[in-house]
Structure 1
Amino acid sequence: MNFLYPGFLFALLAVSIPIIIHLFNFRKFKRIYFSNVAFLKEVKEQNSSREKLKNLLILAARILAITFLVLAFARPFINSTEKANQTSGNIVSIYLDNSYSMDAVNKEGSLLDEAKRRAKEIVKNYQLNDKFQLLTNDFEGKHQRLLNPDEFVQAVDEVKISAGSRNLQQVINRQQGVFTGAANRFSYVISDFQKNFAGDAPIKKEQQTQLTLLKLSANELPNLSVDSVWFLSPVHQAGASEKIVVRLRNFGNEDAKNVPLKLSINGQQKAIGSVNVAANAHAIDTLSYSGLSLGWQKAVLSIKDFPLTFDDELYFTFNVNASQEVLSINGSKTAKYIEALFNADPYFKLTSVSENNINYTSFANYSLIVLNGLNEPSTGLAQSLKTYVSNGGTVVIFPSTFTDQSVFSAFLNAIGLPPVNNVVTEATKVSQIELKHPLFKGVFETLPKNIDLPSVNRYFIYTDNSKVAKEPLLQLPAGKTYLARYPVSGGQVFLSATGLLEEEGNLSKHPLFVPLMYKIAFESAKDQPLSYTIAKDNVITLPAIKLGANQSLKLIGDGFDVIPDVSNQNGNTLLFVADQIKKSGFYQVKKSDSTLAVVAFNDNRSESNMVYDDQNTLEEKFGTQKILFIDAKKQNISSAIAEKNNGSELWKLCLILSLIFIAAEVILIRFFKPQMHK
Structure 2
Amino acid sequence: MSFINPLILGALAFLAVPIILQFFVNRKKIVLYWAAYEWMKNAHVVKRKNVKINEILKLIAKLLLILFLVIFLARCAVSTGSKGTRLIIVDTTFSMSATMDEKTRLEVAKDIVQKIMSTPDSATVICSFNGVINTVAKVGAGQGLSPDALRGLEISPNSAGMGDFITAIASFPEAKNIQNIYFISDFQKCFFADAKATKEAMDRIGKGRNLVFVPVDTRTGLLNAGIVSFSSEPEGFFPGCENEIQVKVKNYSAEPMEAIPLTLTIDGKKQDRSIVSLKPKEEKTLQLSITALEPKDCKGSLTLPPDNFAPDNVLNFVISPGKDLSVLAVVKDKGEELFDFDIFMAGALKSFCPPEFLRYKRTYVTQLSEENLENYDIVIFFGIPIPDNSIIATSVKNFLAKRKSLICFSDCSETYTLKGIGVETNEVKKEIVKLDVKMLKGTYLAFLGEGDLDPLSVSFFKYCTIKNPTGANGRLFIQGSTDPLMAYREINGGKVLLAGFMPYPGFTDVFYNPNYVQFNMRMIWDIYPKRVFNAYLGREVESISLDNTDSDLKYSITGDTGSTTKLEMKGTGPTAKLSTSPMTVNDFFTVYAGGDPVSTFGYTVSREDSEIEPAHRNDYGEAIKEGLYFDEKHDFSSMKSRKEYMALGLVLLLLALAFENYAHFWRKKG
TM-score (norm 1): 0.65
SS at match of 2:564: strand
User: Secondary structure at 2:609's aligned position in 1?
Assistant: helix
Instruction: Look up the match of 2:228.
Output: 227
Q: Specify which of 180, 190, 194 is matched with residue 184 of structure 2.
A: 190
Q: Match of 2:628?
A: 629
For the residue of structure 2 that corresponds to 1:519, the secondary structure is helix
Secondary structure of the corresponding residue to residue 116 of structure 1: helix
Cα RMSD for the two superposed structures: 4.9
For 1:371, the equivalent position in structure 2 comes to 381
Q: Is the 8 A contact 2:112 2:634 kept in 1?
A: no
Q: Match for 2:410: what amino acid?
A: P
Partners of 1:331 and 1:375 within 8 A in 2:
no
Choose from 590, 593, 605 the match for 2:592.
Answer: 590
The residue that corresponds to 2:248 in the other structure is 247
User: 1:241-640 to 2 correspondence within 5 Å?
Assistant: 241-252=242-253, 254-333=255-334, 336-338=340-342, 341-342=345-346, 344=350, 345=353, 346=355, 347-350=357-360, 368-375=378-385, 377-379=387-389, 395-404=406-415, 408=417, 411-412=418-419, 415=421, 417-421=423-427, 423-424=428-429, 426-430=430-434, 432=436, 435-441=440-446, 446-449=451-454, 452-456=457-461, 458-460=462-464, 467-469=470-472, 471=474, 473-475=476-478, 478-479=480-481, 483-486=485-488, 494-499=497-502, 514-525=517-528, 526-527=530-531, 531-534=535-538, 536-547=539-550, 549=552, 552-569=555-572, 571-579=574-582, 581-591=583-593, 594-613=596-615, 629-633=628-632, 636-640=635-639
Residue 135 of structure 1: aligned partner: 128
* Residue type at the aligned position of 1:519: R
Task: Write the mapping of 1:50-89 to structure 2, written as runs, cut at 5 A.
Answer: none
Identity %: 15
**May I ask how many residue pairs the two structures share in their alignment?**
547
Distance 1:628 1:160 in 2: 28
Deviation by residue 1:91-148 (Cα, 9 ceiling, x = unmatched)? 8352244644564548x987545533443455567755x351331549898x556454
- 1:193 Cα deviation (Å)? 1.1
Q: Indicate if the aligned counterparts of 1:271 and 1:287 stay in contact, CA closer than 8 A.
A: yes
CA offset at residue 520 of structure 1? 0.7
Distance in 1 between residues matched to 2:618 and 2:327, nearest whole Å: 59
Contact persistence 2:124–2:139 (CA under 8 A): yes
Contact 1:116 1:156 in 2 (8 A): no
Contact 1:98 1:159 in 2 (8 A): no
Deviation of 1:521 after TM superposition, in Å, equals 0.7
CA deviation digits over 1:351-387, x for unaligned, max 9? Answer: 6566577689977876544332124623455687679
1:417 deviation in Å?
Answer: 4.4
Q: Offset at 1:615?
A: 6.4
Write the distance in 1 (CA, Å) between the matches of 2:450 and 2:140. Answer: 71
2:147 maps to amino acid = Q
CA contact (8 A) 2:92 2:153 kept: no
The change in CA–CA distance for 1:544 and 1:628 in structure 2 (over 3 A counts) is: farther
Residue of structure 1 in register with 2:9 after alignment: none
- State the 1:578 CA deviation: 1.6
Shift of residue 630, structure 1, vs aligned partner: 2.2
Amino acid at match of 1:420: N
Structure-2 change in CA distance of 1:333 and 1:453 (3 Å): same
Partner of 2:663: none
Following TM superposition, by how much is the alpha carbon of 1:550 offset from its aligned partner in structure 2, in angstroms?
5.4
In 2, Cα distance between equivalents of 1:261 and 1:178: 45
The change in CA–CA distance for 1:239 and 1:376 in structure 2 (over 3 A counts) is: closer
Distance 1:190 1:222 in 2: 22
Aligned-partner SS, 2:340: helix
1:166 aligns with 2:159: yes
**Superposition deviation, residue 611 in structure 1:** 3.0
CA pair 396-609 structure 1, distance change in 2 beyond 3 A? same
SS at match of 2:444: helix
Quick one: structure 1 residues 377 and 436, their matched pair in 2 at CA, closer, same or farther if it must change by over 3 Å? same
Q: CA deviation at 1:262?
A: 2.4
Secondary structure of 1:517's partner? Answer: helix
Determine the structure 1 residue equivalent to 2:211. Answer: 212
- Aligned twin of 1:57: none
For residues 213 and 363 of structure 1, what CA distance do their matches in structure 2 show? 67
- Contact 2:235/2:518 (8 A) holds in 1: no
**Aligned AA (1:92):** L
Task: Kindly provide the amino acid, as one letter, of the partner of residue 195 in structure 1.
Answer: K
1:32-68 CA deviation, whole Å, 9 max, x = no partner?
xxxxxxxxxxxxxxxxxxxxxxxxxxxxxxxxxxxxx
Per-residue CA deviation, residues 499-533 of structure 1 (Å, 9 max, x unaligned), is 45656566677766554333211222253765333
Do the aligned partners of 2:263 and 2:303 also contact (CA within 8 Å) in 1?
A: yes
Contact 1:245 1:285 in 2 (8 A): yes
Contact 2:384 2:408 (C-alpha < 8 Å) held by counterparts: no
Q: Counterpart of 1:133 in structure 2: which amino acid?
A: I
Task: Tell me the SS of whatever aligns to 1:305.
Answer: coil
Mapped partners of 1:354, 1:371: distance in 2:
10
Letter in 1 for 2:213: L
Deviation at 1:268, TM superposition (A): 1.3
Provide the C-alpha distance between the structure 1 equivalents of 2:293 and 2:169, rounded to a whole number of angstroms.
50
Look up the SS of the partner of 2:277 in the other structure.
strand
Question: Structure 2 vs 1, CA of residues 115 and 571 (structure 1 numbering), >3 Å: closer, same or farther?
Answer: same
Aligned partner of residue 541 in structure 1, secondary structure: coil
Contact 2:170 2:205 in 1 (8 A): no
Residue 616 of structure 1: how far off its partner (Å):
8.0
SS in 1 for 2:584: coil
Gapped regions of structure 1 (runs ≥ 5): 2-75, 650-678
SS for the counterpart of 1:608 is coil
Task: Choose 316-325 or 274-283, whichever is displaced more.
Answer: 274-283
- Seen in structure 2, the aligned counterparts of structure 1 residues 133 and 323 have a Cα distance that, compared at 3 Å, is same
